[in-house]
């Protein structure tokens, strides 16, 4: 049976790409646009191609998980070049930025050039003869949008792509011809961050679109997890291609002195055996390094393909518009410190009188949240009855009083009340949500008088004072906004 030109050349292109070779054997030619399987970027490639949950940059958002576009910081311009065996090269150029009202926007252009390949056919003498040449190439234009939600702890996004694949440009037995086709595709994804942003989970569906030259696109479901703690990042991806079996990718990164990144990864597809022989294409392991200098980053990865040679992947990115410190260095994304061990504040009061006092405080909290300062003041005066000087709830009382004064615009009096609450907490040895709320209130007072540095200090202390889950998320978000603000 003779394959069509597009089917035959699609298989050839898959083999030239190396990483797609194991997949091509299971259903060779059943999907088009094999270049979409190429991993973009030096950092992801160095970690085995596992990036679905770490895709909070323009490369990750456009090519791995669109949900990351909603969590970008500032603006980024990125470029990458991949050199494969057999003269095959691939690269991309992308821009992404975070806009206050629009969310995250990104635009990218990627290409693949497979070089000039020789076409042969069996000759009468039992060998092969050259009958022509062809030059496979492909490109894709991508545009993406993402939006953050849940107080910057999650992002959703979509990417639309126009694809063009030219598998035959050259001279053949039938003369010169140009065998090209186009298609449109859509990616959609979500990325969430949990456990104080140490754990990230991502899910994306890629390459859902029209046929290319009569063949389906290589659509797939990609799920991933990432754990980030200080200089260490560990990543894991599971891929479920529509036309092939499951794949597993995992990797790790360790950053030395916030400048040099060392990476190691494993891609199960690279280590999969060739079904037409007993050889293994490669061990499946990848390595990489990165260099971060101020707003610039350089990344390099080495991906071995066994008998097919090695792929060298290099990337360069420039970030601007993100928060910087006094020396002009990029401020890392705030990762809250480990949660302190907090006292159990959920125990029920021991007496009916304490029950009544707690009920009054719940009513005060409701009035403060509703923005009704006069009613809150009356409730506060009534609640003070029955509180002894050594009652730990004095801290909560003084903090609520400060919140009401701040609502009425009396910043100086509010600051005095918040500080009084903190002094009382220190005197009584109290730690808990009331103390944390007092620090938050004091930070807002400092910010109201233009003291951004003082506000940051108070917010950091709030994180150390056993805040509630809601206050913890609020403080982390306010700290993120303040990091780029001048003192």
Give me the half-sphere count of Cα atoms (radius 13 Å) on the Cβ side of residue 337: 11
Q: Is residue 338 part of a domain?
A: no
Residue with the larger pLDDT of the pair 379 and 312: 312
Q: What is the mean pLDDT of residues 361-372?
A: 76
Round to whole Å and give the CA distance between 180 and 443.
Answer: 61
Within this chain, do residues 409 and 309 fall inside the same structural domain, yes or no? no
pLDDT tens-digit profile of 324-358? 444 444 444 554 445 555 554 544 455 555 666 66
Residues 236 and 150 in one domain: yes
pLDDT of the residue at 304: 82
Q: Could you tell me if 300 and 360 lie in one domain?
A: no
Residue 305 inside a domain? The answer is: yes
Summarize pLDDT for 299-317 with one digit per residue, the tens. 999 988 766 678 899 999 9
CA neighbor of 222 nearest in space, from 240, 245, 235, 244:
240
Instruction: Answer yes or no: is 128 within a domain.
Output: no
CATH value at residue 68: 2.40.160.60
Do 358 and 308 share a structural domain? no
Domain range for 157 is 5-121+134-320
On whether the CB atoms of residues 299 and 46 are closer than 8 A, the answer is: yes
> How much is the pLDDT for 131?
74
Question: Strands 175-194, 296-304: parallel, antiparallel or unpaired by DSSP?
Answer: unpaired
Give the end of a domain, one of 299, 320, 341. Answer: 320
374 shares a domain with 233: no
Q: Are 290 and 401 part of one and the same domain?
A: no
Q: Number of structural domains, the chain? A: 2
On whether both 147 and 270 belong to a single domain, the answer is yes
Same domain assignment for residues 305 and 389: no
Regarding whether 86 and 208 lie in a shared domain, the answer is: yes
In a domain, 451, yes or no: yes
- Whether 340 is in a domain gets the answer no
Tokens of 467: 């805040």
For residue 332, tell me if it sits in a domain: no
Q: Give the pLDDT band (50/70/90) at residue 386.
A: low
pTM over 0.75: no
Same domain, yes or no, for 200 and 265? yes
Burial of 409 (0-12, 13-18, 19+ CB in 10 A): exposed
438 falls within a domain? yes
DSSP-based helix, strand, coil % in the chain, nearest 5: 30, 35, 30
Same domain, 361 and 233: no
311 and 389 in one domain? no
Domain assignment present for 213: yes
């Amino acid at each position: 049976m003779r394959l069509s030109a597009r089917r035959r050349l699609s298989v050839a292109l898959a083999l030239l790409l190396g990483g797609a070779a194991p997949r091509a054997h299971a259903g060779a030619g059943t999907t088009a646009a094999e270049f979409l399987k190429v991993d973009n970027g030096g950092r992801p490639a160095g970690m085995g191609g596992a990036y679905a949950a770490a895709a909070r940059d323009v490369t990750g958002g456009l090519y791995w998980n669109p949900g990351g576009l909603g969590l970008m910081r500032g603006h980024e311009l990125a470029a990458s070049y991949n050199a494969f065996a057999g003269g095959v090269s691939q690269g991309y150029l992308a821009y992404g930025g975070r806009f206050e009202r629009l969310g995250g926007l990104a635009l990218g252009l990627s290409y693949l050039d497979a070089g000039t390949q020789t076409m042969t056919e069996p000759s009468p003498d039992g060998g092969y003869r050259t009958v022509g040449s062809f030059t496979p190439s492909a490109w894709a234009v991508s545009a993406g949008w993402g939006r953050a939600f849940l107080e910057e702890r999650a992002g959703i996004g979509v990417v639309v792509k126009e694809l063009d694949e030219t598998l035959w440009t050259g001279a053949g037995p039938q003369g010169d011809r140009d065998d090209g086709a186009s298609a449109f595709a859509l990616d959609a994804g979500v990325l969430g961050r949990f456990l104080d942003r140490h754990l990230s989970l991502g899910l994306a569906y890629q390459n859902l679109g029209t046929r290319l030259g009569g063949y389906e696109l290589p659509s797939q479901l990609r799920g991933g997890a990432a754990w980030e703690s200080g200089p260490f990042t560990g990543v894991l991806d599971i891929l479920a291609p529509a036309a092939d079996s499951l794949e597993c990718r995992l990797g790790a990164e360790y950053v030395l002195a916030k400048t040099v990144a060392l990476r190691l990864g494993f891609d199960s597809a690279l280590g999969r055996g060739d079904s037409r022989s007993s050889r293994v294409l490669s061990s499946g392991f990848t390595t990489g390094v990165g260099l971060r200098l101020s707003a610039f980053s350089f990344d390099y990865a080495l991906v071995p393909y066994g008998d097919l040679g090695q792929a060298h992947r290099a990337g360069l990115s420039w970030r601007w518009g993100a928060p910087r410190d006094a020396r002009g260095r990029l401020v890392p994304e705030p990762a809250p410190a480990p949660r302190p061990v907090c006292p159990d504040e959920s125990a029920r009061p021991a007496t009916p009188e304490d029950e009544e006092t707690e009920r009054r405080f719940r009513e005060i909290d409701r009035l403060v949240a509703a923005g009704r300062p006069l009613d809150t003041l009356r409730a506060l005066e009534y609640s003070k009855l029955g509180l002894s000087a050594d009652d730990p709830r004095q801290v909560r009382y003084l903090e609520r009083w400060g919140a009401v004064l701040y609502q009425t615009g009396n910043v100086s009096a509010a600051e005095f009340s918040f500080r009084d609450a903190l002094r009382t907490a220190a005197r009584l040895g109290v730690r808990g949500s009331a103390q944390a709320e007092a620090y938050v209130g004091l930070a807002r007072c400092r910010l109201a008088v233009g003291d951004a540095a003082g506000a940051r200090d108070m917010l950091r202390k709030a994180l150390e004072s056993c805040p509630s889950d809601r206050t913890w998320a609020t403080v982390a978000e306010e700290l993120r906004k303040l990091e780029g603000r001048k003192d």
